[in-house]
Structure 1
Amino acid sequence: MNTLSLPLPIPGLRLRPWAIQDTESFQKYAENLEIWRNMRDEFPCPCTHQDAERWIIQALHRADGLYLAIATDQEAIGSISLQIHDDIRRYSGVLSYWVSQPFWGQGIATAAIAGISDYGLGELNLVRIYAKVFSTNLGSIRALAKNGFEQEGYFRKGVYKEGQFVDQVVYAKVV
């Protein structure tokens, strides 16, 4: 499934498969505590060249969904994935994404979420896409809400990050 390329409504931006050539931009943009603070601990920060390459190779070889770069014409500036469940949850997918900090506040996450969720609910025949976000990640919450995602759950002290418990919120879009 990782051959998909979707143009976004922002000129010069698209969702496309990761490429080994993206290693430098991945490393450059992933090397950011502000991004890592809203990600799982497994997200590489500090991020070495080897970490970036490994992350991209894993994305290229996964067969359980879409794992795409958010890219300009010059470089990858973020990532978005739609992991599709199996068995009794085979019509559901979980959404994950990040946009590099220099590109925050430009509607890029909102556009990327729209692109991949429209594709998932349309072409992949999913009926439910959801995302789990930290309650402190207000930009992500706004981007999901702009795309019609509604809050479904609130997990008090749902994750442990940087030595403290953080609430986690589940947002979903259901057709």
Structure 2
Amino acid sequence: MLFTLRPWTLDDLASLVHHANDWEVARHLIDAFPHPYTVADGQAYLAFATSPAMSRCIFAIEVAGQAVGSIALHPQTDIHRHNAELGYWLAQPFWGQGISTQAVQQMVNYGFQTFTITRIFARPFGTNYASHRVLEKAGFTLEARFPQTLYKNGEVLDEWVYGVRRSPQPI
């Protein structure tokens, strides 16, 4: 399916709220991604995502003119400054169509071209097998498993860490 990664705009509010307000999406994300997802939540997210500091890090995943997901790279600081964390979500009607894998691959290429980083990592829940597959198909390697590290919805979950490195690795 055709999709585009593009900057978020304030005009994306209705689409964002519609697609983000899904328990099946929220249950795989950190608690900062609320459920239910309200208009106020969407407004706060768009203010953040369109801010000058974030506009080159956070992108909408657009299908047929609608923002149906988000993908972001968060460059790290201090001793982790050569790393960036990847996060993403996609609306449920678009799952299983290869969009997430392709979006991750595009974001990895963008990240290595845009930022002074040598590694991109993602930290899916141990139970999020679909995200594990997306990352593996996009070239990420499982680097670590942290048992019973996360607490989400009354459950203690494992955290998995996947990474991909720039080749060759300039320092």
TM-score normalized by the length of structure 1: 0.90
**Which deviates more from structure 2 when the two are superposed, residues 71-80 or residues 120-129?**
120-129
What is the match of residue 35 of structure 2?
45
Residue 133 of structure 1 pairs with residue 135 of structure 2: no
Q: Deviations over 1:122-159 (max 9, x none)?
A: 33242100000011111111110011100111010111
What is the match of residue 68 of structure 1?
59
Change (3 A) 1:57 1:129: same
What is the match of residue 84 of structure 1?
75
Matched position secondary structure for 2:58: strand
Q: How far, CA to CA, are the matches of 1:40 and 1:148 in structure 2?
A: 23
- Structure 1 residue corresponding to 2:159, chosen from 144, 161, 168: 168
What is the match of residue 3 of structure 1?
none
What is the match of residue 116 of structure 1?
107
What is the match of residue 169 of structure 2?
none
| Residue segments in structure 2 that go unaligned for 5+ positions in a row | 167-171
**Which deviates more from structure 2 when the two are superposed, residues 98-107 or residues 52-61?**
52-61
What is the match of residue 7 of structure 1?
none
Q: Deviations over 1:26-65 (max 9, x none)?
A: 1111111111110011102101111111111111116266
Identity of aligned residues (%): 38
Matched position secondary structure for 2:68: strand
Q: Which amino acid aligns with 2:24?
A: E
What is the match of residue 48 of structure 2?
58
What is the match of residue 99 of structure 1?
90
What is the match of residue 5 of structure 1?
none
Change (3 A) 1:25 1:172: same
| Residue segments in structure 1 that go unaligned for 5+ positions in a row | 1-9
Q: Which amino acid aligns with 1:46?
A: P
Q: How far, CA to CA, are the matches of 1:31 and 1:73 in structure 2?
A: 19
Change (3 A) 1:62 1:92: farther
Q: How far, CA to CA, are the matches of 2:164 and 2:118 in structure 1?
A: 8
CA RMSD of aligned residues (A): 1.3
Equivalent residues, number = 165
What is the match of residue 35 of structure 1?
25
Q: How far, CA to CA, are the matches of 1:151 and 1:110 in structure 2?
A: 16
**Which deviates more from structure 2 when the two are superposed, residues 107-116 or residues 79-88?**
79-88
Matched position secondary structure for 1:38: coil
What is the match of residue 140 of structure 2?
149
Runs of 4+ in 1 over 6 A off after TM superposition: none
Q: Deviations over 1:92-131 (max 9, x none)?
A: 1000000000000000100110001011123324210000
